[in-house]
Amino acid sequence: MTQALDDLLDLLDLERVEENIFRGRSRSAIVPRVFGGQVAAQALVAAGRTVPADRTAHSLHSYFLRMGDPGAPIVYTVDRIRDGRSFTTRRVVAVQHGQPIFHLSASFQTYEEGLEHQAEMPPAPDPETLPTAEEALPRYAHRLAHPSIAERLLKAREAVDLRYVAQPPYATAGEPREPRSQVWFRANGKLASDDPLLHICLATYVSDMTLLDSVLLAHGRGGWAVGDVVGASLDHAMWFHRPFRADEWLLYDQESPSSSGGRGLGQARIYTRDGRLAISVIQEGVVRVPRA
């Protein structure tokens, strides 16, 4: 396991303050706010720690309310909404400086057999044939708003091995493309734990990294790294369909059906390498062109 992955796991290991209250820390951020994937993953950890071990998260719905302060702890308060025979529901509010910054509702279910079908996995090259972030990012450093951004991006994502199938938005700024993006990702190291909650929370963490790329591609925008768009996540929803491991390759197939009103919508499916549909994701974010 890499040191970066070990640090991320430590970040997700929340401190229990009271029965339904947890406290988390933040890692250094690329921009002066808490990374949305981090607060979503930590909130899901908090919810999961109040749920019986035989119940696995099957969905989450969340809203980003305020920018988080990476220099201050985050307090997560869990509301035990419902404990049914098959399903458990939890609501989590993340608070900083006395104000809510994030709200999450999550549902957990005991395993049961049922009807089975799924969307077919789209074609994609093998992840090993694609350049790593360390290999690819230096090629595009001259396109970024500041030379230090490439280094900051690598630092922020070093716990994850994330590889673009095609060029990322910041590599083709000024050239509109089909609003679709694919990345392969996995944890940057082998995980000792088989706990499904940990693997789900790691996938939740990564899911906020690239989902709005397809919105940018449709308009030839490079994103915050280039400086031609101002953006932030507004809401985020995930459905966990089948078991998976976050330390094995997952294909994140993303597209944008719409952008309007200063907002962009991204939707995606995450597949295991052998073609099983593991997760569905939808996110809306602020996508604004800076005014002169």
Q: Which residues are catalytically annotated?
A: 208, 233, 283
Sign of CA dihedral 6, 154, 198, 79: positive
Read off the tokens for 216: 């940018």
SS (H, E, C) 87-153: EEEEEEEEEECCEEEEEEEEEEEECCCCCCCCCCCCCCCCHHHCCCHHHHHHHHHHHCCCCHHHHHH
Rounded-to-integer distance, Cα 220 and Cα 217, Å:
5
CA-to-CA separations, 161 to 113, 119, 128, 164, in angstroms, rounded: 33, 25, 11, 10
Q: Is the separation of the CB atoms in 233 and 215 below 8 Å?
A: no
Reported as half-sphere exposure (CB side, CA atoms, 13 A), residue 148 has a value of 2
| Adjacent-strand bridge partners of 103 | 63, 93
